[in-house]
Amino acid sequence: MTILQTENLSKHFGKVKALKSVSMDVREGEVFGFIGPNGSGKSTTIRILLGMLSPTGGEATVFGMDAKNQAVDIHKRIAYVPGEVNLWPNLTGGEVIDLLMSFHGVKNEGRKKELIRDFQFDPSKKCRAYSKGNRQKVALIAALAIEPDLYIFDEPTSGLDPLMERTFQKYVKDARAEGKSVLLSSHILSEVEQLCDRVGIIRDGEIIETGSLTDLRHLTRTNLYVETSHTLENLEQWEGVHAVEQEEAGWSFQVDTEKMDTVMAELSTFGIRKIESAPPTLEDLFMRHYEGSGGGEE
């Protein structure tokens, strides 16, 4: 079942076209990773989903309800953590957590205490004294204590240390195990790889790729290094071969995963003496999509 859906969503700020056409969906019980370079429109999409911005065109629905007009009903079932958490300098962290929870009518003291302990958070300080990471913890603890049906996280761990990041990942996995849905925007690839069932890649206000990680890996390239007894010629003109570079004794290049078979067959006719391959990393996948955003190649 689809929990959250956008269809041809566009958003213009004056002349700036922040979103051109964003279509995506998050299904029940999955963790959906939302990735893309800086300024590609992730936060804008999320703000529309939260009813804070009205889209210029297209539609955004959550639980089948209109994101803007039925915001209050939607918000009863979601929790949101922004990337940049600003708090009231005169209130303490503990007060803010309670405040946010009571806006939801939630009074889950046990779970709150557990979260405060797990995130090693000191709730007695005034908010102006908290570091960026600690401010983020306030929002995370409140969101996780609310236990909604859908979590929306916009770069929730950008200020957390690795240990706390792990704590966060544990809670997301628990939530998923309980059948909750999660929309997670992140720049931390290992986090996305660990947590997400599916990812959507956005660039320049358009979704350019959606699918499970295994699906997307098909789109990546394998790094190869070969030395052959016969001289390799015109390698760069082979189909599915990229980034060819001559080394001292051989060649290194990249091969499209789906062309691997034909390339290998061809290579073997040259008498392979040595071959090294490096598996495609998620990094490669992302880099390919991130590079040249803002009017570069591709």
Partner 1 sequence: MFHNSGKLLFFLGKADRLRITVWLFSLTVITIAVPLAFGNLYPTQAERDVMAQTLSNPALTAMVGPVNFETYTIGTMTAHEMVLLTALVVGLMNILFVNRHTRVEEEEGLLELVRSLPTGKGANMMAVFLHILFINLLLVLLISVGLGVLGIESMGWNGSMLYGMVLGGSGIFFAGITAISAQLADNARTSFGIAFAVLMIAYLVRAVGDVSAETLSWFSPLHLSSQAEVYGANHWWTILPLFGVGILLFAVAGYMASLRDLDAGLLRSRAGKTTASSFLGTPTGLALRLQRTGIISWGIAMLLLGASYGSILGDLETFFEGNEILQQMLAGESSASFTEQFLSLLIVVIALIATIPALMSMLKLYKEEKSHRVDLLYAHPLSRFQFFASHLSIAAVQGLVMFLLAFAGLWMAGVAVMTEPFSFLTIVGAGMAYYPALLVMVGVTVLLIGFFPEKSGWVWAYLLYAFIVLYFGGLFEFPEWMEYLSPFGYVPELPNEDMTWLPLILLSMVALVMVTIGFRGYKRRDLQG
Ligand X SMILES: Nc1ncnc2c1ncn2[C@@H]1O[C@H](COP(=O)(O)OP(=O)(O)OP(=O)(O)O)[C@@H](O)[C@H]1O
Interacting residues toward ligand X by CB under 6 A: 13, 16, 18, 36, 38-44
User: How far is residue 87 from each of residues 66, 84, 137, 156, 159, measured CA to CA in Å?
Assistant: 28, 10, 11, 15, 15
Q: Which is nearer to partner 1, 40 or 92 (CB)?
A: 92
Q: Which is nearer to ligand X, 38 or 124 (CB)?
A: 38
Q: Which is nearer to Mg ion, 196 or 263 (CB)?
A: 196
CB of 246: closest distance to partner 1 in angstroms?
46
Q: Which is nearer to partner 1, 132 or 242 (CB)?
A: 132
- Edge-to-edge, what's the strand order for the sheet holding 31-35? 65-66, 57-62, 2-13, 16-27, 206-212, 198-203, 31-35, 181-185, 150-154, 78-81
- Edge-to-edge, what's the strand order for the sheet holding 241-246? 241-246, 251-256, 221-228, 272-278
Strand partners, 21: 206
Q: Which of 43, 61, 134, 136 binds Mg ion (CB under 5 A)?
A: 43
CB of 103: closest distance to ligand X in angstroms?
25
Q: Which is nearer to ligand X, 40 or 134 (CB)?
A: 40
User: How many of the other CB atoms lie within 10 Å of CB of 2?
Assistant: 13
Which of Mg ion, ligand X, partner 1, none binds 40 (CB below 5-8 Å, type-dependent)? ligand X
CA 36 – CA 55 distance, rounded (Å)? 20
Q: Which is nearer to Mg ion, 11 or 221 (CB)?
A: 11
Q: Which is nearer to ligand X, 36 or 93 (CB)?
A: 36
CB of 19: closest distance to ligand X in angstroms?
7
Choices 42-50, 57-65, 92-100, 144-152 (CB under 5 A): range interacting with Mg ion: 42-50
CB of 34: closest distance to ligand X in angstroms?
9
Which of Mg ion, ligand X, partner 1, none binds 72 (CB below 5-8 Å, type-dependent)? partner 1
CB of 49: closest distance to ligand X in angstroms?
12
Q: According to CB under 5 A, which residues from 71 to 130 bind Mg ion?
A: none
Q: State the residues that interact with partner 1 by CB under 8 A.
A: 47, 50-54, 71-73, 75-76, 78-80, 82, 84-92, 94-105, 123-126, 128-129, 139, 152
DSSP 8-class letter at 194? H
CB of 92: closest distance to partner 1 in angstroms?
3
> Are 58 and 21 in contact, with CB atoms under 8 Å apart?
yes
Dihedral (CA of 253, 257, 258, 261) sign: positive
**Residue 172, SS3 per DSSP:** helix
User: How many of the other CB atoms lie within 10 Å of CB of 151?
Assistant: 25
Please enumerate in sequence order all residues whose Cβ is within 8 A of that of 65, keeping only pairs 6 or more positions apart, or say none. 73, 74
Residues that bind Mg ion (CB under 5 A): 42-43
